[in-house]
Structure 1
């Protein structure tokens, strides 16, 4: 099949399997669920282990999703090593797991390092989980332990030099009013 003759609208699981030996806890390398990539265009350089996707790129594994304008996948003999995504913004969503809420994140640049199971969000980065919000120029997210660390932008780069975190109080859904009656209805 010639990729040069027509834009790629949907890439099959077979092409994804060529790119990912195994699968990627942001993207779980131990999972049997394949990573699927959909894009307007694709270029695979098998010699270098690099696949480049452009135009409305959607990368999914189960309910985990990464959307961007451009995504580059790097692989080696061990499988998927790195994902680099850029967009206006690029967007990452990881479903709720183990009693923790869905993770919804965006940044102009998102990088996933498979050996570390770590996502790095750069430039206008924002992560929201359970109503908690993390903003900064650079945010590192350990997708296995779900640990977030953030750095502010240097003031010379039009950033405030600070990070912002909004932490919600414990859920009040099951609390009762002081008179003993339930809130709602």
Structure 2
């Protein structure tokens, strides 16, 4: 197993996910819903679409856990589950996917498990497990056991500061990311 930690000061890899402490409502649409008020669990299945403000989650199944303070945990599974958030605070749009995505309010952590990929503004994080600690602003990525094909490794691509990918529309002065001029 390969473990790599990266602090957010090297380039903000992605924004926090759903804000479980926000006053903004979380909206859920699904084919089926089961609410267990005694346990504080709501289970949604079948083409689940969940949103809070501009943040969106699409999954096969979503389980919301509530406590006396509101939603405390969100577990999403899919093939893959997909989370999207528009650009904010100088960060590019976030597009994240994994077979399992979990948000936990108590430890300020978002965890992407199995086939995890997070893309934002040209930055890419890929691994078996990716944790984002929103309080400490630290990303930790873990690879899976190597099966002889190199797939067990963590992959990260971090764009230089001020560069949000190689899109010429994002580069008004006509220079490539290495500083050379683009051809005419």
Query: TM-score, normalized by length of structure 2?
Result: 0.75
- Aligned partners of 1:124 and 1:113: how far apart in 2? 20
Q: 1:95 to 1:176 in 2, by over 3 A?
A: closer
For 1:175, the equivalent position in structure 2 comes to 173
- Aligned partners of 1:95 and 1:146: how far apart in 2? 19
The 8 Å contact of residues 56 and 67 in structure 1, kept in 2 or not, is answered as yes
Question: 1:73-112, CA deviations, whole angstroms, 9 ceiling, x for partnerless residues?
Answer: 1111111111111100000112222111121100001111
For 1:150, the equivalent position in structure 2 comes to 141
Which one of the candidate residues 108, 112, 137 is aligned to 2:103?
A: 112
Please identify, of 38-47 and 160-169, the stretch whose mean Cα deviation from structure 2 is larger: 160-169
Unaligned runs of 5+ in 2: 1-15, 164-169, 176-180
Larger radius of gyration: 1
For 1:78, the equivalent position in structure 2 comes to 69
Please state if 1:55 is matched with 2:61. no
The 8 Å contact of residues 126 and 134 in structure 1, kept in 2 or not, is answered as yes
Q: 1:66 to 1:143 in 2, by over 3 A?
A: farther
Please state if 1:31 is matched with 2:22. yes
For 1:126, the equivalent position in structure 2 comes to 117
Q: 1:123 to 1:157 in 2, by over 3 A?
A: farther
Aligned pair count reads 158
SS in 2 for 1:155: coil
Backbone CA RMSD of aligned residues: 2.7
Comparing both chains, which one has the higher relative contact order based on Cα–Cα distances under 8 Å and sequence gaps of 6 or more?
2
Query: TM-score, normalized by length of structure 1?
Result: 0.75
For 1:44, the equivalent position in structure 2 comes to 35
